Amino acid sequence: MRVAIVGTGAIGGFLGARLALAGVATSALARGDTVKALRANGWRLRDEDGERRAPTRVSADATELGPQDLVVVAVKAQSLRGAVASIGPLLGPDTIVLPAMNGMPWWFFNDVAGPCRGLSLASVDPDGTIAAAIEGRRVLGGVVHLSCDRPEPGVVAHHRGRELIIGEPDHTESVRVRAVADLFTAAGLDVTVSSDIHSDVWYKLWGTMTINPVSALTGATVDAILDDDLVRTWCETAMVEVRRVGDRIGCPIAQTPAERNDVARKLGAFRTSMLQDADAGRSLELDALVGAVREIGAIVDVPTPTVDALFGLTRLSARVRHLLG
């Protein structure tokens, strides 16, 4: 496959580097200093094996890269509307688009049963720009469970986890989903093909939509958040609200919030991606992570007062610190 990475930060850089190291022909749609770094050095991946490099084509102009077999979209949610305006030349007749992003994706309610069927979320794709640029038939759902950061342009440091969950939004197991799974498995990822990718997306959202914004508000790592009884209890109250919303949209969660946080506790003194963005002065992906939950809750008549408070506090903090996209 010819694979293009759109969004060459921590997650996109990790996936691109792993593919290139496995011999896959990769391209990167990037900008600024990242273009210069990738042209000079290719992908640079730092992990338990030291630093390794792998070549890639890179351009700020998708026309120079041309149509791809697979496009991995790994930009922050608040940057996606701008990114899709430039990816058209990457999309051939049968190009697959695999989002590798946090938060609620724009495609989530395409052709699903239930009260939100066909819904376009104002918090995610307010004017339909994303859906218009990326046809629903192209999309494979994706969920990434791994930890990386980008210490400098073109360089990715991998810390833990290699899990990638992919699935067809219509819940079938297609030839293309198996081909993409084989591609990433050969690149050293732990790949699961899911028959219910919506539930996988919702489960990850459930685990991140409290701790991530709380970390950005407080500057605290995951262990510190969970060790504070008052903060942990407040987060778990919000998680109960989100679980009730999930029940209404066909994504029930069997775990209790305490059980889910026990999983998060194993990360130790982990700096969430939102905390990394806040510390670096980058905008926060707040709407797709928290605003979308509020929006869905209102549609399915599930009150979300704790989620509302979390959203309001984090939004105000981000506005004061000039971190709103």
DSSP letters, 105-157, are -TTTTTT-SSTTTT---TTT-TTSHHHHHS-GGGB-EEEEEEEEEEEETTEEE
Q: Residue 7 and residue 10: Cα distance in Å, rounded?
A: 9
pLDDT recorded at residue 266:
86
Give the per-residue pLDDT at 240: 98
Model pLDDT, residue 112: 81
Q: What is the DSSP letter of 195?
A: S
Q: Which residue has the tokens 């105000």?
A: 316
CATH for the stretch 2-195: 3.40.50.720
Segments of the chain assigned to CATH 3.40.50.720: 2-195
> What does DSSP say about strands 155-167 and 43-47: parallel, antiparallel, or unpaired?
parallel
Question: Could you give the CA distance from residue 134 to residue 127 in angstroms, rounded to a whole number?
Answer: 14
Lookup: tokens for 205: 């959202």
Q: Where in the chain is the domain with CATH 1.10.1040.10?
A: 201-320
Nearest Cα to Cα of residue 283 among 10, 76, 31: 76
Neighbouring-strand partners of residue 60: none
Nearest to 162 by CA among 199, 200, 192: 192
- Do residues 215 and 290 touch, judged by C-beta distance below 8 A? no
Q: Do residues 293 and 307 lie in contact, with contact meaning Cβ atoms separated by under 8 Å?
A: yes
pLDDT of residue 309: 98
DSSP assignment of 32-81: HHHHHHHHHH-EEEEETTEEEEE--EEES-HHHH--EEEEEE-S-GGGHH
Given a contact cutoff of 8 angstroms between Cβ atoms, the answer to whether 33 and 114 are in contact is no
| The one-letter amino acid at 208 | T
Instruction: Give Cβ neighbours of residue 218 (< 8 Å, ≥ 6 apart).
Output: 224, 225, 231
For residues 315 and 286, give the distance between their C-alpha atoms in angstroms, rounded to a whole number.
Answer: 7
Identify the CATH homologous superfamily for domain 201-320. N-(1-d-carboxylethyl)-l-norvaline Dehydrogenase; domain 2 (1.10.1040.10)
Buried/exposed code over 260-279 (b: 16+ C-beta within 10 A; e: otherwise): bbeebeebeebbbbbbbbbe
Contacts of 179 (CB under 8 A, 6+ apart): 1
Q: Which of 156, 201, 200 is nearest to 47 (CA)?
A: 156
Separation CA 101–CA 59 (nearest Å): 21
Q: What is the pLDDT along the chain (325 residues), one digit of tens a residue?
A: 999 999 999 999 999 999 999 999 999 999 999 999 999 999 999 998 899 999 999 999 999 999 999 999 999 999 999 999 999 999 999 999 999 999 999 999 997 878 898 899 999 999 999 999 999 999 999 999 998 999 999 999 999 999 999 999 999 999 999 999 999 999 999 999 999 999 999 999 999 999 999 999 999 999 999 999 999 999 999 999 999 999 999 999 999 999 999 999 888 888 999 999 999 999 999 999 999 999 999 999 999 999 999 999 999 999 999 998 7
- Please tell me the distance from the alpha carbon of residue 297 to that of residue 187, in angstroms, as a whole number: 39
How far is 25 from 19, CA to CA, in rounded Å? 8
Could you tell me which residues come within 8 angstroms of residue 169 by beta carbon, excluding any fewer than 6 positions away? 107, 110, 111, 112, 136, 139, 140, 141, 197, 198
Active-site residue numbers? 204
What is the Cβ-side half-sphere exposure of residue 145, based on CA atoms within 13 angstroms?
18
3-class secondary structure, 174: coil
In contact, 130 and 80? CB cutoff 8 Å? yes
Q: Model's pTM, two decimal places?
A: 0.94
C-alpha to C-alpha distance for 314 and 90, rounded to whole angstroms: 36
